[in-house]
Structure 1
Amino acid sequence: MGSGKTTLARRLEHELPALRFTIDEWIVALYGPDLNAEEFPVASRRVTAVLEGQWKRAVTLGIHVILDYGFWTRRGRDGLRAEASALGVPLTFYALELPEEEAWRRIRRRNLEPGVLPIADETFTRLRPRFEPLGPDETALQVSFE
Structure 2
Amino acid sequence: MRPTLHAVHGFIGAGKTTLARRLEAELPALRLNTDEWMVQLHGHDPPEEVFRAGIAGINRLIRQLAERALELGLNVVLDDGYWTRASRDGLRAWADGLGVPLRLYALSLSEGEAWRRVAQRNAEPGSLYVAPETFDLFWRQFEALGPDEAHETPP
**TM-score, normalised on structure 2?**
0.89
Match of 1:111 in 2: 122
Q: How does 1:1-146 map to 2 (within 5 A)?
A: 1-143=12-154
Task: Among all aligned residue pairs of Structure 1 and Structure 2, give the percentage whose two residues are the same amino acid.
Answer: 53
Q: How many residues align?
A: 144
Deviations 1:51-95 (A, max 9, x none): 110001111111000000111111111111111111111101111
Q: 8 Å contact 2:42–2:50 — kept in the other structure?
A: no
- CA–CA separation in structure 2 for the residues paired with 1:61 and 1:37: 36
Aligned match of 2:6: none
Deviations 1:86-126 (A, max 9, x none): 11111011110111111111101111110111111110001
Structure 2 gap segments, 5+ residues each: 1-11
In 1, Cα distance between equivalents of 2:92 and 2:71: 15
Runs of 4+ in 1 over 4 A off after TM superposition: none
Query: Which consecutive unaligned segments of at least 5 residues does structure 1 have?
Result: none
- How far off is 1:143 after superposition? 3.4
Provide the alpha-carbon RMSD of the alignment: 1.0
Q: Please give the alpha-carbon distance, in whole angstroms, between the structure 2 residues aligned to 1:30 and 1:45.
A: 13
